[in-house]
Structure 1
Amino acid sequence: MNEAAVKWRLCFANLNRGEPGIVGLLEFSEAWAFAKEYLMPRDLSDPRQKGTFDKAKVMAAVEIIVKCKMVQYLMDEFVEDIRRHQNMITNDVEKHMDQYESTSDPQHIARLVMRLMRWFNAWAPSPEYVTPISPSLATEPAHSFISRLGATIISTYTLLFQTHLFSVLPPSFTRGFRDLIHLTFGLTHRSSAPEWLAEIIDNSQGQPLPRIDIPLWAAFEDLGLLDRYESLVSGVCHEYVEAHIIETCTKKWDEPMLYKTREWMADKIVPWMVMPYARGARTAEEARVMLQGVGSRLDFHLCKTIADLRTREIFDIIVDYPDSQGALQDLKECLQRVDQRSQLVQSLRKANKRRLLHPGADTKDILTQYVSIIRCLRIVDPPGVLLFKVADPIRRYLRERDDTIRCIVASLVGDGESGDSLVDENEPIVPLQQPQADDYSDANWEPEPIDAGPDFRTNKPSDVISTLVSIYDSKELFVKELQVLLAQRLLAITDGSFEREKRRNIEILKIRFGEAALQVCEVMLKDMTDSKRTDQHIQAQKTSVVHPTIVSKHFWPALQTSNFVLPERLKKVQDDYSKEFTTFKPDKRLNWLPQLGTLSLEIELDDRTISADVSPLEAAFIDLFSDKDIWTVNELIDKVGSVDKMAALRALTTWVDLGVLKEEDDEQFRLLNVAEDASSSSRIAPSRSAALMEEVPAVVTVQQQQAEQMKVFWKFIEGMLRNLGALSLDRIQTMLKFAPGYDRNIDQLSAFMEAARREGLVTSKDGMWRLHQR
């Protein structure tokens, strides 16, 4: 009781402040009631509870409460009053959110935000309802008397208000807030704002603003919405940038768009970012410092979006090269800032597999795209890591195609129709470059890039032809194919302009492949020159309608052979020419290839004369129609000798197309001495037309030569398997190296053994090969 009495006297003295009687206690009671009345939450919809307070009286009441050390108890009462009146805020939130959910109009979210801001200001312990009573009080800082209550009551009130607000906001508010943030883009001027927003702002401010969205952002910050939905605000900004990039940069490859997009962001996005991220800045430099972090993140997102877009478009960008160099420059700069190199590789490899590396694509188209990939990825990644990763599947696929070497060689010696697009005319002609080991003594040596694989080797950029030739382990295959292609082109020349081949191609190929590799080609060109000179001499001695091309058998690729017999009149002309040649060169004899060459004929019929340049087989067939008008295909073949039936049909098709012959029954042809109408003229059956269109080349291809050679080596393989039993592929390869002329690699041997297995000659089990037991 004594202790309680002592505490009571201390409390009474504290509340009475040493005044006589209970004067101090009465003053405290009056100050307490006045402060509670001042802090009491008010209903905005009830005009009777709105009023003003004497500022001096409020300050005096606060002074008394502070001196009595009752601030904490006043704050507890204030907090409890706030909690009892929170249902007013809840009702307003529900009303505005119901309107938004029924219309999805963001103006209801804006009205709700401004309404909540009025609640926040009305209930906050602030000088909103204070009327100054003297000039001296009017000039005093407005918050000085509130600060006597302590900063704790302000922070406690803010936390309490925001906690309740966030607890009653429905999930749909997030969507509405996102829509409202979207709307703030472009609201830097009042004229660009919708009328309802201008009405809300004017009602809340009562005076014009430099930017109409300032009150909104101020409300967002005071209500804690910016902190709570910070990721949503930045997400909306990112979406706005993404939408602009997709709209302006998609399929826009002819010029760089990164710089223009950054300029657009500086003009449109940065001014908008001042409100959510730099509202407190007082100078432009201070705002720049405050925006530096978020601006860097936004620029990163801009680069990432452009990199994603260009990665999705990369295949078409490469197809459009060189008109798409602008997009490649953008991609290069973006990849330096955004680590998406692996995504680029995966996207391009998938696109290549789906759109390029399939049987429906022509080999020349694959090579053209591969060359474009080389040139494009050199722009994006000069060290070549991306090219190494992307090119590997293409190179493996091209190695499996039989005509890859032929297409590459055709691009070297052909005209624009046959593949010059693979060779850049502005690219210097250099010898084929071989991969070189790293020279660590080089002062300019640099380590391999961090994302390079274990098989990657840094090489100096080589020309396109060297890259294409490196698909195969040896350039010998290209040299052989080059000889075949050059032989075909030389034999196809009828006007004697073969010197063009030397000027246009041979000298260039010497630089690329070396003098030794082109020696055989030089011999072929020399044969053409000597042949022309020999023919001129023989024609001077005895005029002949025959102008043969005389070649050296051992220096030319294998030529197509045939045993068919020329008509007597044609054979006599050949024999006469051979006699003159023997007279001119007694130590040499001519060995004619009757199936090669071209004859110029004039066919005289009853009502017309037809001129045509045809092959010897076609001439032999039409000559037989001089004896009788109707022949079957088998009868014609029997007359001319051993001829492939498909070649015979192809020869007859030429005369059908010229209107000289007509196919009456299946494989029976009649001479049309009198022309028929085109509608009544019969043609070769459509089922055979595709096969008949293909021309047989005069020179045996490299693949045909290899197939013939492998037939010889099959005898060695068959003997091994018969005498030694089952053998592995490596053992067969090792033993075949002792065979004369064997120069195949193990992959070619594997393909040959697979072909033999399909024909039933051998079987394979657990990697061991054995002869098939019949």
Structure 2
Amino acid sequence: MSYQISLEELQAAITHRPPSLSIERLSKAFETLHTFLQPVWPVPIHYVACPSAPCNVVEALECVIELNAQEELFDWYKGQIQWYFKHLKDETTKITSLSKDSHAHQLVFQLVKRWHVIFLTWHDPLRVLTPEDTSAYNLYSKYFHNCLLSCIPDYFPIGIKRIFTMDLNGTSTRLFEPSPNYPHSSLIQQLATLGLLKRFQPILFSVGYDAIDERIEKVCRGEWSDQSSSLEGMIGWFRQVIGVWLVKVLEAADQSITPTTTPADQPDLTRVIGIVRPAMSRFEYHIYKSLSDLRINELFDIIVDFPETMPVLEDLRICMNKTDQRSYLVHKLRAANTRRLLHPGADTQDIITQYISLMKALRVLDPPGVLLSCVAQPVRIYLRSREDTIRCIVTSLVEPGHTLGDELDQISDNDNPHQGLSSGLPIQEENDYHLTDWFPDPVDAPIGFKNLLKDDIIESLVTIYQNRDGFVKELQSLLASRLLAVKSFDVTQELTRIEILKGKFGEANLQPCDIMLKDLSDSKRIDTSVHELIPQAPIHPIIISRLFWPNLATTTFKFSPQLTELLKIFEQTYTTQKVDRRLCWLPQLGSVEIDVVLQDRTLSLEVSTLQASIIELFGISDTWTFSKLRIKLKIRSDFNSLKNSLNFWFNLHVLKEIQSGVWKLFESEHSFNSFSVKSIRNP
């Protein structure tokens, strides 16, 4: 392509220049330089360096510089580059069409290599003329890059990402392999030279982000039994793998980075972090964010396994401090609780257990208690709607082996024993009077936020209900059941629990419990005194104060003759010591230790008094009808208890219903199993 310069352009070029220089001289200089700088097309497959400039070209350039016409010369040069770029675009399209079956990353290798050869070939004349002028190179590089952007095919970003991913995973090393025809230029350097590495730097970072996500999914999902920190492991892995890879990319692309001298198998992590520090914070934030997202989605299961998951919660606490995902955690955990916990199929005791673990776990994540206040409220409302919540809470407080029982055991003597429920004030109002230090609410605290019970799990459960009367009544009922079932009058554990619970419910409210415990102590003393007089009597009754015990279920029946005789002996001895008192027996509440001697075996059992009375009657006669048993034992209404007692002996292969309503004693397993009930047909 020829280029003609007009008279007006020449006149403009020599304006304000020394009159000794003629227009003809400048025109000849431009013509010489145009011939030398003219872009080559077609460009050879391999790059061949341009020879040094002839003397006439050097003189022409000196003339242009002397006349300060470099800008006009470079404008012409850019025009030539732009015109020839249509050939580059056509060649790019041709390479793409001829390689339809190739993968995107393979096409990227071909295109970048070809573009780089064209870039160097067209720049060579300019480089030869201005070997030390970096501004000329920068202008050319920027202009070439801008023109190249219009030639980039759609699949190019996909191919670039694939190349970066393969190199990071170690499945390909072509990213840093030098070109065989240009030893000092690897693919990464070619991308940097063409200005494409900076252009597609977000893709480079996205490869790192994807690798982090894949690593977290593979190593951390569902893994919280290990006592080590997953977060520390992820940070260490990132710095040794992705960090080293990033600095390798930057070293190859940016000559301003000092080349590494550290062996590849022993990277200097301090130097690596220093080089990629601008990107490190973004990648580490992504680690915190991704790990936080994973753990928040798993938080329900993490809470189920608390406290074994304490290291996981510590990691999540650090991640949340970095990423501020508190509202996301509240949303996800409340949704998980609603879906997996707050439904009719969940057992109330399981809900309470999860609620206790929830309180403990959220204390680790958020000591001020804002998260707990936001997440726990739906659970508290749901527990309040269940009829057996109070019973389950009180059972957990009194029965051994429950979480709340362990909480009671951990209460120290320094705790305020009368905190919360000892006065007549509502629970939250009363606690206001025990605040010695005041701090403002956290900024994200909901309206009406109060965290007065964050250190007291029992108090938090009790305050599900504004009225404590239900807890007190249920506690008395459960304590009565436990006291009636104790052996040898040992109430040490119950006494300890009641003393601790007085600090929660008030001493006055638990006065009936004190009287029930005292009845056990008095019963032990009376039992000892009576058996000193009648040591042969094998009975140990519990004597209760009727007015201070809850209503006990009654099933009246007549004891068997042997039991009646033993109770009569004990009662006669008791009245000699307590002249003004009489005993009223509650037959359904007792238990009897008996030995049932059969032909082929002996059964040592602890049974109810009704079960003992039944088997004693079968010792008198081996066959009884249901109606005769009912009359003999004087059972007037509660027939189910009689049926259940008969079935108890049936399950032990002692009694069997041989006809409808007729029960028979079998002395051996063989006779029990061999007897078949024949159906009786009505005539």
- Correspondence 1:493-504 to 2 at 5 A: 493-502=486-495, 504=496
The alignment status of 1:206 with 2:190, answered yes or no, reads no
Match of 2:521 in 1: 529
CA contact (8 A) 1:255 1:325 kept: no
> Counterpart amino acid of 1:531?
S
> Counterpart amino acid of 2:531?
Q
Determine the C-alpha separation between the residues in 2 that align with 1:360 and 1:477.
24
* Structure 2 SS opposite 1:44: coil
Determine the C-alpha separation between the residues in 1 that align with 2:651 and 2:10.
132
* Structure 2 SS opposite 1:428: coil
How many Å apart are 1:391 and its aligned residue?
0.9
> Counterpart amino acid of 2:199?
R
The alignment status of 1:54 with 2:49, answered yes or no, reads no
> Counterpart amino acid of 2:57?
V
**Aligned partner of 2:153 among 163, 170, 188:** 170
Over 3 Å counting, the alpha-carbon distance change for 1:554 and 1:96 in structure 2 is farther
Over 3 Å counting, the alpha-carbon distance change for 1:585 and 1:167 in structure 2 is same
The alignment status of 1:505 with 2:490, answered yes or no, reads no
Determine the C-alpha separation between the residues in 2 that align with 1:268 and 1:101.
34
How many Å apart are 1:68 and its aligned residue?
6.1
> Counterpart amino acid of 1:361?
A
**Aligned partner of 1:614 among 593, 607, 612:** 607
> Counterpart amino acid of 1:671?
L
* Structure 2 SS opposite 1:238: helix
* Structure 1 SS opposite 2:180: helix
CA contact (8 A) 2:292 2:316 kept: yes
Match of 1:387 in 2: 372
Determine the C-alpha separation between the residues in 2 that align with 1:371 and 1:361.
15
Determine the C-alpha separation between the residues in 1 that align with 2:392 and 2:122.
84
Over 3 Å counting, the alpha-carbon distance change for 1:621 and 1:276 in structure 2 is same
- Give unpaired runs (5+ residues) of structure 1: 1-5, 131-140, 187-191, 208-213, 684-774
* Structure 1 SS opposite 2:510: helix
Match of 2:552 in 1: 559
Match of 2:648 in 1: 654
- Correspondence 1:151-162 to 2 at 5 A: 151=136, 155=139, 157-158=140-141, 160-162=143-145
Over 3 Å counting, the alpha-carbon distance change for 1:215 and 1:511 in structure 2 is same
Over 3 Å counting, the alpha-carbon distance change for 1:27 and 1:529 in structure 2 is closer
CA-to-aligned-CA distance 1:250-284 (integer Å, 9 cap, x gap): 33432223233223333333343346668364569
> Counterpart amino acid of 1:354?
R
The alignment status of 1:115 with 2:109, answered yes or no, reads no
Match of 1:124 in 2: 123
How many Å apart are 1:607 and its aligned residue?
5.5
Over 3 Å counting, the alpha-carbon distance change for 1:403 and 1:143 in structure 2 is same
> Counterpart amino acid of 1:322?
P
* Structure 1 SS opposite 2:589: coil
Match of 1:743 in 2: none
How many Å apart are 1:448 and its aligned residue?
0.9
How many Å apart are 1:307 and its aligned residue?
0.9
How many Å apart are 1:651 and its aligned residue?
0.7
Match of 2:533 in 1: 541
How many Å apart are 1:335 and its aligned residue?
1.1
CA contact (8 A) 2:112 2:190 kept: yes
Range with bigger deviation, 614-623 or 425-434: 425-434
* Structure 2 SS opposite 1:663: strand
Match of 1:645 in 2: 639
> Counterpart amino acid of 1:169?
I
Range with bigger deviation, 43-52 or 612-621: 43-52
CA-to-aligned-CA distance 1:647-685 (integer Å, 9 cap, x gap): 2222112111222101345554322144426755789xx
Determine the C-alpha separation between the residues in 2 that align with 1:438 and 1:550.
40
The alignment status of 1:143 with 2:132, answered yes or no, reads yes
Over 3 Å counting, the alpha-carbon distance change for 1:256 and 1:607 in structure 2 is closer
The alignment status of 1:591 with 2:591, answered yes or no, reads no
> Counterpart amino acid of 1:231?
P
CA-to-aligned-CA distance 1:413-465 (integer Å, 9 cap, x gap): 3222x556752755536336434689899996332111111021243642222
CA contact (8 A) 2:596 2:603 kept: yes
Identity %: 33
Instruction: Quote the RMSD (CA, aligned, Å).
Output: 3.9
Q: TM-score scaled to structure 1, two decimals? A: 0.74
How many Å apart are 1:587 and its aligned residue?
1.1
Range with bigger deviation, 69-78 or 571-580: 69-78
**Aligned partner of 1:423 among 407, 414, 423:** 407
How many Å apart are 1:179 and its aligned residue?
0.9
Provide the aligned length of Structure 1 versus Structure 2: 647
Match of 2:462 in 1: 469
Over 3 Å counting, the alpha-carbon distance change for 1:639 and 1:9 in structure 2 is closer
Determine the C-alpha separation between the residues in 1 that align with 2:9 and 2:526.
142
* Structure 2 SS opposite 1:612: strand
- Correspondence 1:206-355 to 2 at 5 A: 206=183, 215-253=186-224, 254-274=227-247, 279=254, 281=256, 291-355=276-340
Determine the C-alpha separation between the residues in 1 that align with 2:450 and 2:215.
40
Determine the C-alpha separation between the residues in 2 that align with 1:471 and 1:283.
65
Match of 2:4 in 1: none
* Structure 1 SS opposite 2:542: coil
Determine the C-alpha separation between the residues in 1 that align with 2:32 and 2:375.
81
Determine the C-alpha separation between the residues in 2 that align with 1:443 and 1:567.
65
CA-to-aligned-CA distance 1:532-585 (integer Å, 9 cap, x gap): 222333334344343321111011121111232333443344344333323322
Determine the C-alpha separation between the residues in 2 that align with 1:7 and 1:79.
20
The alignment status of 1:636 with 2:626, answered yes or no, reads no
Determine the C-alpha separation between the residues in 2 that align with 1:346 and 1:681.
65
> Counterpart amino acid of 1:320?
D
Q: TM-score scaled to structure 2, two decimals? A: 0.83
Determine the C-alpha separation between the residues in 2 that align with 1:49 and 1:201.
16
> Counterpart amino acid of 1:177?
I
CA-to-aligned-CA distance 1:362-395 (integer Å, 9 cap, x gap): 3222222211111111111000000111111111
> Counterpart amino acid of 1:563?
T
Determine the C-alpha separation between the residues in 2 that align with 1:88 and 1:291.
39
Range with bigger deviation, 255-264 or 372-381: 255-264
Match of 1:600 in 2: 593
Range with bigger deviation, 176-185 or 370-379: 176-185
Match of 1:411 in 2: 396
Range with bigger deviation, 356-365 or 284-293: 284-293
* Structure 1 SS opposite 2:178: helix
Determine the C-alpha separation between the residues in 2 that align with 1:322 and 1:657.
42
> Counterpart amino acid of 2:513?
C
- Correspondence 1:680-691 to 2 at 5 A: 680=674
CA contact (8 A) 2:36 2:125 kept: no
* Structure 1 SS opposite 2:41: coil
CA contact (8 A) 1:436 1:459 kept: no
> Counterpart amino acid of 2:203?
L
The alignment status of 1:451 with 2:444, answered yes or no, reads yes
CA contact (8 A) 2:600 2:668 kept: yes
Over 3 Å counting, the alpha-carbon distance change for 1:671 and 1:644 in structure 2 is same
Over 3 Å counting, the alpha-carbon distance change for 1:309 and 1:74 in structure 2 is same
Determine the C-alpha separation between the residues in 1 that align with 2:163 and 2:544.
86
* Structure 2 SS opposite 1:529: helix
> Counterpart amino acid of 1:658?
L
* Structure 2 SS opposite 1:655: helix
